């Protein structure tokens, strides 16, 4: 009986240890099959485009195909939850965006916690926005705009691509830090015709869609939302040069499900940083308005948690509710 009991305990212990041993073994062999990157927004938007640009050279470096798959819906929460519920083996990754940090407070009833249920892997880049105004606005710089808006309370309309989007929150942060009263106008389609004609007066928006209008003079750019000036627009001041401490940029990165082996996270971080720091890749991302800034997983994690805290304060201040 003692022999049988000893054998049973030995087998039981082996059963308990085997999943951990299996994960270690899989991490050591990683990667051995195709990897999927889930983009939680539709094809053609910045997260999807950047993920696809990075996926090709990353695939060449690690030796397996990398497929970008779109799972849009519910402001990115559908695709994010899909990754959260996936096996933590490094073969299903998330093209994470600053919207994930916003959604953590904007959607209080989510069935997952973005910070708790994902692991930061690598930053792909920062996505600053530009503050642009209609030619009908007399202001030529940020201080003049602040003075103009204060002299015309509730007569300045701020356009955005939707309530709770990152550009909207960047504008609300500007309002919060300057004490301005501006009317938010959310658009389901492009607001650029109304901005150019003066129906709305100001917007915070990614560089790429408005670069041509800035060059032609149809729109006037007053500042960038990054902490410092952008390589793409070196002559345009950062808003923080006039509003101390302001930083309202978005970001793109890769996250994995919680419990993904550390060795897998480290391997991906190393290879992704090598891809994004390549001069040719940096130039390509700069053309898209994406600033390159390599980070270790813990640094990227700090960026995420800081963003969650910052946007939670803005959402509360502005009483923003999800549509």
Q: Is the pLDDT of residue 4 over 70?
A: no
Q: Mean pLDDT throughout 1-16?
A: 48
- The answer to the question of residue 266 being in a domain is yes
Does the predicted model carry a pTM greater than 0.75? yes
**Tens digits of per-residue pLDDT, 94-116?**
999 999 999 999 999 999 999 99
Higher pLDDT, 7 or 287: 287
Is residue 160 within 8 Å of residue 171, measured between CB atoms? yes
Label residue 231 by pLDDT band (50, 70, 90): confident
- The domain spanning residue 83 has which CATH number? 3.40.190.150
Query: Dihedrals φ, ψ of 260, to 5°?
Result: -65, 135
Q: What is the C-alpha to C-alpha distance for residues 157 and 186, in angstroms, rounded to an integer?
A: 10
Burial class (CB in 10 A: 0-12, 13-18, 19+), 234: exposed
**What pLDDT is recorded for position 14?**
52
**Residue that finishes a domain, picked among 220, 241, 262:** 241
* Total number of domains constituting the chain: 3
What one-character DSSP code corresponds to residue 238? B
- The answer to the question of residue 7 being in a domain is yes
- The answer to the question of residue 75 being in a domain is yes
Q: Say if residue 203 is in the same domain as residue 215.
A: yes
Q: Say if residue 63 is in the same domain as residue 81.
A: yes
**What pLDDT is recorded for position 3?**
44
- The answer to the question of residue 323 being in a domain is no
| pLDDT more than 90, % of the chain | 82
- The domain spanning residue 175 has which CATH number? 3.40.190.10
Q: Say if residue 186 is in the same domain as residue 41.
A: no
Q: What is the C-alpha to C-alpha distance for residues 204 and 275, in angstroms, rounded to an integer?
A: 29
Q: What is the C-alpha to C-alpha distance for residues 280 and 178, in angstroms, rounded to an integer?
A: 39
Nearest-5° Cα angle at 190, 304 to 251: 15
**Residue that finishes a domain, picked among 176, 211, 241:** 241
What one-character DSSP code corresponds to residue 239? G
Q: Which residues of 6-39 are buried (b: 16+ CB within 10 A; e: fewer)?
A: eeeeeeeeeeeeeeeeebeebbeebbeeebbbbb
Label residue 288 by pLDDT band (50, 70, 90): confident
Q: Say if residue 136 is in the same domain as residue 233.
A: yes
Pick the range with the lowest mean pLDDT from 26-40, 208-222, 303-317: 26-40
Q: Is the pLDDT of residue 262 over 90?
A: yes
Q: Say if residue 222 is in the same domain as residue 280.
A: no
User: 322 to each of 47, 103, 163, 208, 277, how far by Cα in Å?
Assistant: 21, 9, 7, 26, 36
Q: What is the C-alpha to C-alpha distance for residues 270 and 273, in angstroms, rounded to an integer?
A: 5
Full 3-state SS string of 155-214: CCEEEECCCCCHHHHHHHHHHHHHCCCCEEEECCCCCHHHHHHCCCCEEEEEHHHHHHHH
- The answer to the question of residue 200 being in a domain is yes
Q: Say if residue 139 is in the same domain as residue 232.
A: yes
Dihedral (C-alpha) 308, 311, 315, 320: value to the nearest 10 degrees?
-90
**What pLDDT is recorded for position 15?**
53
**What pLDDT is recorded for position 196?**
97
Q: Say if residue 282 is in the same domain as residue 218.
A: no
**Residue that finishes a domain, picked among 181, 214, 241:** 241
Label residue 9 by pLDDT band (50, 70, 90): very low
- The answer to the question of residue 181 being in a domain is yes
Q: Say if residue 237 is in the same domain as residue 143.
A: yes
Residues ≥6 apart with Cβ < 8 Å to 294: 122, 123, 273, 276, 277
What is the residue range of 49's domain? Answer: 31-127+250-318
Rg (CA), the chain: 23
Q: What is the C-alpha to C-alpha distance for residues 155 and 116, in angstroms, rounded to an integer?
A: 42
Q: Mean pLDDT throughout 203-211?
A: 92
**What pLDDT is recorded for position 16?**
53
**What pLDDT is recorded for position 2?**
46
């Amino acid at each position: 009986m003692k022999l049988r009991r000893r054998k049973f305990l030995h087998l039981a212990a082996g059963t308990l240890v085997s999943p951990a041993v299996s994960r270690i073994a899989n991490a050591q062999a990683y990667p051995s099959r195709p990897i999927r990157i889930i983009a939680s927004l539709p094809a053609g938007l910045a997260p999807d485009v950047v993920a696809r640009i990075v996926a090709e050279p990353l695939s060449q470096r690690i030796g397996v195909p990398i497929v970008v798959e779109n799972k849009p819906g519910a402001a990115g929460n559908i695709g994010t939850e899909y990754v959260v519920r996936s096996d933590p083996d490094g073969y299903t990754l998330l093209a994470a965006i600053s919207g994930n940090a916003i959604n953590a407070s904007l959607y209080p009833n989510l069935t997952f916690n973005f910070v708790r249920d994902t692991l930061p892997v690598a930053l792909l880049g920062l996505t600053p926005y530009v503050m642009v105004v209609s030619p009908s606005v007399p202001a030529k710089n940020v201080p003049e705009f602040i003075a103009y808006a204060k002299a015309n309370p509730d007569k300045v309309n701020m356009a955005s691509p939707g309530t709770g989007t990152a550009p909207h929150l960047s504008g609300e942060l500007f309002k919060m830090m300057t004490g301005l009263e501006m009317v938010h106008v959310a658009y389901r389609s492009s607001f650029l015709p109304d901005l150019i004609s003066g129906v709305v007066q100001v917007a915070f928006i990614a560089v790429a869609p408005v670069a041509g209008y800035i060059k032609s003079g149809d729109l006037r750019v007053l500042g960038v939302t990054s902490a410092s000036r952008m390589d793409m627009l070196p002559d345009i001041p950062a808003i923080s040069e006039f509003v101390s401490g302001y930083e309202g940029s978005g970001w793109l990165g890769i996250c994995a499900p919680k419990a993904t082996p550390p060795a897998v996270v480290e391997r991906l971080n190393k290879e992704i940083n090598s891809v994004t720091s390549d001069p040719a890749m940096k130039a390509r991302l700069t053309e898209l308005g994406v600033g390159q800034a390599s980070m270790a997983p813990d640094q990227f994690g700090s960026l995420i948690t800081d963003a969650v805290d910052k946007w939670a304060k803005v959402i509360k201040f502005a009483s923003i509710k999800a549509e």
